[in-house]
Amino acid sequence: MVALPRPAVTAVRVASVCFLVTLVAGCAGSSRQSNMQAPENYFSMSLPGIGANPQMSPIDPINAQLLSQQVPPPTVVREALLAQHQRWAGTPYRIGGTSERGIDCSALVRNVYRDTFNLELPRSTRGQVHEGRSIDRQELQAGDLVFFSPPGRYNHVGIYVGDGYFLHASTSKGVIISSLDNSYWQRYYWQARRALEPTHLAQLGSNF
């Protein structure tokens, strides 16, 4: 068997990311909400400090980028979160669920934080909303928690990944990445919190 050159291997990994297409859906919203699709090239966008090297694949360690000291911590965190999206994408929503068989919004947030940053968050949205410190929407950076208060019994939570997008578990689409600029999420946006500074998150993530 002929081994592929290293650039070719990297290209194959990058190509696999580019196939992801995500749709906006409400975790606790009605079927009348408007949908907004993420740009087709969102998962292959060049990131600041990386040049032409786009998002890493889930099997690539993030510590190599951190050690290079050329990639800002929020970008390192963002790539780690996108790798988690690849792992969880399409997992169906199930209230009370905590695994790939089905998961709810707060369990997804807890699992991603634990598996990526070795940081334990409370299991419920009610507990997570008291983590860290409150921040303005204009201050959002990758890794921040975003909370929504849609109609119904439950609040909703996701993790900001940058560029106006957040990772979350939707009741209708399962685990997806959605836009904060969507009219539904704009309407029910509640608050954002920073559980830990991006620099610390990147350092924690580099241990994996």
Q: Give, in words, the CATH class of 61-205.
A: alpha beta
Instruction: Look over the chain and give the mean of its residue pLDDT values, rounded to a whole number.
Output: 75
pLDDT score, position 72: 76
For the chain, what are the domain ranges? 61-205
pLDDT at residue 58 above 70?
Answer: no
| Active-site option among 27, 130, 168, 200 | 168
The more confidently predicted of residues 134 and 59 is 134
Pick the catalytic residue from 18, 27, 85, 105. Answer: 105
**pLDDT at res. 35:** 38
Q: What is the pTM of this model?
A: 0.69
- DSSP assignment of the chain: -PPPPHHHHHHHHHHHHHT---B---SS--TTSPP-BPPTTGGG---TTTTT--PPPTTS-SHHHHHHT-S-HHHHHHHHHHHHHHHHTTPPB-TT-EETTEE-HHHHHHHHHHHHH-----SSHHHHTTSSEEE-GGG--TT-EEEE--SSS--EEEEEEETTEEEEEETTTEEEEEETTSHHHHHHEEEEEESS-HHHHHHHHTT-
Query: Is residue 18 annotated as part of the catalytic site, yes or no?
Result: no
Is 130 tagged catalytic? no
Active site residue 200: no
